[in-house]
Amino acid sequence: MAKKVGIPRALFYYQYFPLWKTFFEELGAEVIVSDRTSKQILDDGVKSCVDEACLPVKLFFGHVINIKSKVDYLFIPRFTSVYKAEYICPKFGGLPDMVKHSLKDLPEIISTEINLHRSKANAKKAALETGYYFCSDKKRIIASYQKALASYREFREQVKKGVLPLDILDRKLTVLKKPEDTMLNIAVIGHVYNLYDRYISMDLINKLRKFNVNVITIDMIDGSIINKKAENLNKKMFWFFGRKALGSTFHLLEEKNIDGIIFVTSFGCGVDSFVCDLMEKKVRQNSDIPFIVLTLDEHTGEAGMNTRIEAFIDMIRWRNKNDTDISALG
Ligand code: SF4
């Protein structure tokens, strides 16, 4: 019988799921994903995780609880770095231990370290370490990893063309339409796990689409462009997310084809606290593009969020039509 490997539908699920799914399936494992985020999952996460954790980590706990009794293994990689000479938030590094020491009745956790800080080649090492849980044939593991990389590249290509990850992951057939002239172009900047979780983001992206907004996210911008633009920072950005968020924003500002920027952050995020500040400063210094920050936490009310989005869109349309002197503070 195929071994079942559980993947919580949270954090880097929204970035790497196509890669992980192909990899495990090629090795003969059955991939089980936790249910879509619900109030129950969020409440379970909030109750079982330390109060100081950020919302996405609390939510991750809820997804582990949702899936832990249904699988033989839980895949919780220990992410340290996903890009040369950069780190990601340390909470990712501590995640397997946090889960192990906070929750009971867990299956075995596969907590392979993913650390590309020194070299990309470490990814292959991590694949081998993970693959040995399911098979002892090194060649087969490498072949599965190559196929997984191909699935990941295909996924990334679709995203770059403008298909949102949440549509691909939900297997929605999206027909790409050329944005109409009447549409507003709004950059929605934030972590994938905040933007693409419909429950926690209160379906922000679809709400914007209903307002006839063409949503642009970091994932749609070519990595080489982001890298180039991030060089404009006085100092090299230490954090992976910071470089991507700022590099893509600089690019969009230069292109002059966005009408507004929404920065989505979650309460308790240390990385966002300075990335958001820095971004706001840069946007204000270099443009008069409206900028708004939406903070998500377990208490965020949907009505309040809707009002802010609506007011922001109205203000942009009004500015575009009538008066560019209207405050861009959002
Ligand atoms: S980057 Fe922020 S939101 Fe993401 S895990 Fe770290 S603290 Fe949480």
Q: Measured between alpha carbons, how far is 262 from 249 in angstroms, rounded to an integer?
A: 11
**pLDDT value at residue 328:** 58
For residue range 202-240, list pLDDT tens digits in order: 999 999 999 999 999 999 999 899 989 988 888 887 788
Within 168-256, strands assigned E span 184-190, 213-216
Pocket of ligand 1 (CB under 6 A): 54, 56-57, 89, 91, 191, 266, 269-272
Say whether 165-321 and 4-160 share the same fold: yes
**pLDDT value at residue 127:** 96
- Residue of 15, 54, 275 to mutate, ligand 1, most atoms within 8 A of C-beta: 54
Atom of ligand 1 nearest to the CA of 268: 7
Atom of ligand 1 nearest to the CA of 241: 1
Going from the Cα of 54 to the center of ligand 1, the distance in angstroms, rounded, reads: 6
**Helix, strand or coil, per DSSP, at residue 293:** strand
Contact criterion met (CB below 8 Å) for 73 and 106? no
Which residues, other chains included, contact 310 with Cβ-Cβ below 8 Å and sequence gap of 6+?
Answer: 211
Q: Which of 115-124, 152-161, 177-186, 187-196 has the highest mean pLDDT?
A: 187-196
Q: Please state the domain extents for the chain.
A: 4-160, 165-321
Six token digits for residue 122: 């470490």
Largest CA distance in the chain: 67
CATH number, domain 165-321, options 3.40.50.11900, 3.40.50.261, 3.20.20.20, 3.90.1150.10: 3.40.50.11900
Residue 159 or 28, more confident: 28
Burial of 309 (0-12, 13-18, 19+ CB in 10 A): buried
Q: Measured between alpha carbons, how far is 59 from 46 in angstroms, rounded to an integer?
A: 7
Query: Is residue 299 over pLDDT 80?
Result: no
Cα separations in angstroms, 35 against 41, 49, 298? 9, 19, 18
For residue range 236-289, list pLDDT tens digits in order: 877 888 889 999 999 999 988 899 999 999 988 988 988 899 899 989 988 889
Please identify, in words, the CATH class of the domain defined by 4-160. Answer: alpha beta
39 C-beta neighbours (distance < 10 Å), count: 10
**pLDDT value at residue 330:** 47
